[in-house]
Amino acid sequence: MPESPPPDRERHLIRYSGRGGFSPGIADRASGSTVITEDGRELLDFTSGQMSAILGHGHPEIVATVREQVGRLDHLYSGMLSRPVLDLARRLAETLPAPLEKAMLLTTGAESNEAALRMAKLVTGRHEIVSFARSWHGMTGAAANATYVAGRTGYGPAAPGNFALPVPDRFRADLVDADGDLDWRRQLDLGFDLIDAQSVGSLAACLVEPILSSGGVVDLPPGYLAALRDKCHERGMLLIVDEAQTGLCRTGDWYAFERDRVIPDILTLSKTLGAGLPLAAVLTSEAIEQEAHDRGFLFFTTHVNDPLPAAVGNTVLDVLIRDRLDERARELGDRLQGGLLELAERHKVIGDVRGRGLLVGLELVDEGRDDGGSGDTDALGGAVTRRCADLGLHMNIVQLPGLGGIFRIAPPLTASDAEIDRGVAILDEALTAETS
C-alpha cells in the first residue's frame, strides 16, 4: 500500500511560530467565546483569537458593519479619504486625553510601531531606540529590532542603536530593597546608566508596553511609567506606548496608561481596535504631527486609512461605549483573578497570579510539584496547556524558553460569568491531572 499523503498542514504550510507548531484540529467556525473545530469539538477561547477579538467571535454588529461597508466602499487609493476614516480619527481622539488628537489608521501592531518609530526618528533627528528586555513589538524592521523576547537569533546583525532596559518584574525581582521587594527605581537608574554609556548621543524614543504580554504578563509597577517618561524627556526622547493588547477597555480602563496619569508622546493601537479584523492606529499631538509633516514624514502604505476596517473600528467604539465594557472588564477580571487565586491555594505549583482586567497572567513554579520537579516549568506548562485543550479550553501560553510556565489569559470582554467559571474549572482539572 502506498503511504498516505501528509495532511495539508504538514505538506503545504510554512511553520512560522519558531519551535512551536500549530494548534491541533482545524477550526471551522466560531461564535462569542467559542471556537468549533471541523470534527465538532468546542473550545472555550480564552485568548480572544490572537488577543484581538475583544467582542468575541462573530459579533452581530461587526458582521452587519462588514456586510454593509464591503458593498459600499471597501478600499481606496491611499491618498483618498472616506467618512469612516474621518469619524474614527475624531472618535479615537475623543477617548484620549489632550494633546493626543492626530491619528493615522493602519493594519497591524507591527506596522503602527514602525510608523511611530519612523516619526520619532524624523522629529527628533536621532535614531537610537530603547525598549524592554522581554518586549514584543512586531516582526518587521524597526519593530523587530525593538523586540527582545524572541526572534533575534540567526537573522544577522540587528540595526545599531537599539538598547534594552531590564524588566521591572516584581515576581522575578533582580534588584531588591531591604524588604526583599523589587527596587524598580534603582533598576531603572542603572538601566539608563548603561544606555547612556552606550549611546552615541542620538536617543530618539523609548517604546514600551504598559503590561508586557509576551514577556510574561508583567504589569509595570505604579509610578514606573511616570519615572520612565521623566527619564525620556530629560534626554529629549519621545515616549511611545504600545497598547496593542491593553488598549480599548481590556484592562478595565480605556487605556492602561491612564492608571499612571501619564500621557505618551505617541500611542500605538492595534488588535483590540479591530476586534479581530486588521486595524491599527498611531495617535500623537498636533505639535509632533506638524513637525513630522514639516520634515516630510512618509509612511504611505497600500491599506493606510482604508474605509472598511475604519467602519469596523467605529462599530467597536459603539459597542464598547454602549455596553460599558471597561466596567465589565473590571468585573470579569475580578471574577477571573479571584477564581485563579482560589486555585493557587490548592495547587502549590501556581506561584503567581497577576494582571489587570481581562489580561491575566498565571505563573507556574516547580517547587510545588508532587514529584519534586526538575525546574522544567516549560514542559509542565506545555502539558497543562495540552490537557486544557483536550478538556475544551484554549489558553494562550508563552511558549518561549524560560517563559513556558506562564499562561496569558485574555477572554473576550463579552464573556459570561459562567464561561469565566468554566474556564477556571477546566484549568483546575488540568492542573490536577498534570501535577498529581
Q: Annotated catalytic sites, by residue?
A: 136, 209, 242, 245, 271, 408
Contact 274, 309 (CB under 8 A): yes
How many CA atoms within 13 Å lie on the side-chain side of 195? 27
Q: Report how many helices (DSSP H) and strands (DSSP E) the chain contains, helices first.
A: 13, 17
Contact 218, 254 (CB under 8 A): no
Cα-flanking dihedrals φ and ψ of residue 428, to 5°? -60, -45
d(CA 118, CA 108): 15
Residue 271 DSSP code: G
d(CA 28, CA 39): 9
Angle among Cα 283, 248, 65 to the nearest 5 degrees reads: 95
Alpha-helical regions (H) of 125-272: 141-145, 184-198, 224-234
Start-to-end C-alpha separation, the chain: 43
DSSP secondary structure string, 117-140? HHHHHHHHT--EEEEETT----SS
d(CA 66, CA 60): 10
List CB contacts of 377: < 8 A, sequence separation 6 or more. Answer: 364, 365, 366, 404, 405
Q: Which strand (E) or helix (H) includes residue 351?
A: strand 350-356
d(CA 333, CA 330): 5
C-alpha cell at 45: 477561547
d(CA 129, CA 288): 17
Alpha-helical regions (H) of 169-285: 184-198, 224-234
